[in-house]
Amino acid sequence: MTTTEPAETERTRLRRMRHKGSHQRAALDAVLAAGFVCHLGVLVDETPMVLPTTYGVVGDTLYVHGSVASRSLVQAQGTTVCVTVTHVDGLVLARSIFEHSVNYRSAMIYSVPRAVTDPKEKLGALRALTEQCLPGQWEYGRQPSRKELAATTLLALDLNEASVKTRSGPPDDGDSPDAALGLWAGVLPVTPMWGTPVPDPLLSPRVGMPAHVLTRAGTPVDRTSHGSSR
Amino acid sequence: MTTTEPAETERTRLRRMRHKGSHQRAALDAVLAAGFVCHLGVLVDETPMVLPTTYGVVGDTLYVHGSVASRSLVQAQGTTVCVTVTHVDGLVLARSIFEHSVNYRSAMIYSVPRAVTDPKEKLGALRALTEQCLPGQWEYGRQPSRKELAATTLLALDLNEASVKTRSGPPDDGDSPDAALGLWAGVLPVTPMWGTPVPDPLLSPRVGMPAHVLTRAGTPVDRTSHGSSR
């Protein structure tokens, strides 16, 4: 699958914290690969509405599940939306409150969504959404029927207008006069972890837990090298 | 400190998944108390822009740090913004892909931001922002100077137009024909955890780690009963 480099436009040009920004496609892919929830900003009655939803990626396209926001997405047809994916990596505890910060990785994508109508593309998008959440689940679960597919609204967003911002590393006041205060400073990391799977109470005890679920328990949600090496 | 119940308006009226929604102030407070990062949607050049940022709460006001989004927030003066706080609690793994879902708690707040100019209110807001991230840090750190306070942009958002949505519990297809497929179904929980604090490399080894940082390591970021009892 080929990918194209995201374009730098007026709105993705990084006016602030330019050193923290990137337009590299690899950086975008890394942020998208590290999670499964985005925040979708759509214009509804001339006001932005920010909705959390899951996403999937196929090549140069990000897919979101339309049903989470039917009303807003109907209104948003033909207008530009903004999708932001954020991973919080830690609190940056400086000597001064003023220098406190957050270590994070964040991607922002602008696109005019396209409604997916082709059943084959819909199937591929749902597969990507499912596998983004939990690899192995698409093949394991009962895949959508033709009727279910028809009842599913999916939106396709082009990844070619995007930017990535990150902050990592220690606080910035280690060489300031505040260093003499003798206060502890450093980073308190944050890592989303998978917990112990909870079987559906209606599940027969004879049904075993599949390996792709079982092996997740106690591991970081972020499977990218960033998530596992921290 | 008194609080008022959020109002139900045209845009926070829950058209979809009404049973999952709430306008109760206690529900809003619980979602806000469980984290420290929000996604702020602002209108910039007639397009929504979604920015991750930290927040703090004092009474009926949510504060965000203006510097994260100077350009957008200057443009957004006098216009309505949307702040969304989302906690992902788990993947809902159903028998059918169609019934897959996410357990979550999410709050959505609409407000016309007010720039904070009073130094005393600024100080209170910064205190709330700091304590939202890490209780104990405000008293421990070197508090802002008059000059730093003047250089800080803070926005105040009224909490009185808000809604809360949550999903919890097992998948919905336990009593459907798909239950006969013999597939495992249940919830794979997600919990953001604090990791082991990483001291600033420039820190003198004589400086010990304060208790409010040390005791966080290995605990859930969500300190509310929901986060600790799950």
Rounded-to-integer distance, Cα A216 and Cα A164, Å = 28
Q: From the CA of A166, how many Å to the nearest CA of chain B?
A: 11
The top-level CATH class assigned to B18-229 is mainly beta
- Please report, for chain B, the start and end positions of each structural domain, with discontinuous segments joined by +: 18-229
Q: Does A47 touch chain B (CB under 8 A)?
A: yes
> pLDDT of A6-34, one tens digit each?
666 666 654 443 445 666 889 999 999 99
What 3 state SS string does A55-110 have? EEEECCEEEEEHHHHHHHHHHHCCCCEEEEEEEEEEEEECCEHHHCEEEEEEEEEE
The residues in B 118-177 lying below 8 A from A, measured between CB atoms, are: 126, 130, 133-134, 137-138, 140-145, 148, 152, 170-171, 174-175
Nearest to A97 among B48, B138, B203 (CB): B138
Asked if residue B19 has pLDDT above 60, the reply is: no
CB contact under 8 A, B202 and A170: yes
What are the helix (H) ranges across chain A? 25-33, 70-76, 119-133, 137-140, 146-150, 211-214, 225-229
CB contact under 8 A, B189 and A181: no
Confidence band (pLDDT; 50, 70, 90) for B10?
low
Rounded-to-integer distance, Cα B202 and Cα A175, Å = 8
Give the bridge partners for A21, in sequence order.
A165
ipTM of the complex: 0.91
Contacts of B96 in chain A (CB under 8 A): 141-142, 144, 148
**CATH superfamily ID and name for A18-189:** Electron Transport, Fmn-binding Protein; Chain A (2.30.110.10)
Q: From the CA of B151, how many Å to the nearest CA of chain A?
A: 10
Q: Does B100 touch chain A (CB under 8 A)?
A: yes
> pLDDT of A155-192, one tens digit each?
999 999 999 999 999 999 999 999 999 999 999 999 99
Rounded-to-integer distance, Cα A69 and Cα B133, Å = 30
Q: Does B33 touch chain A (CB under 8 A)?
A: no
Q: Is pTM, for the whole model, over 0.80?
A: yes
> pLDDT of B129-174, one tens digit each?
999 999 999 999 999 999 999 888 999 999 999 999 999 999 999 9
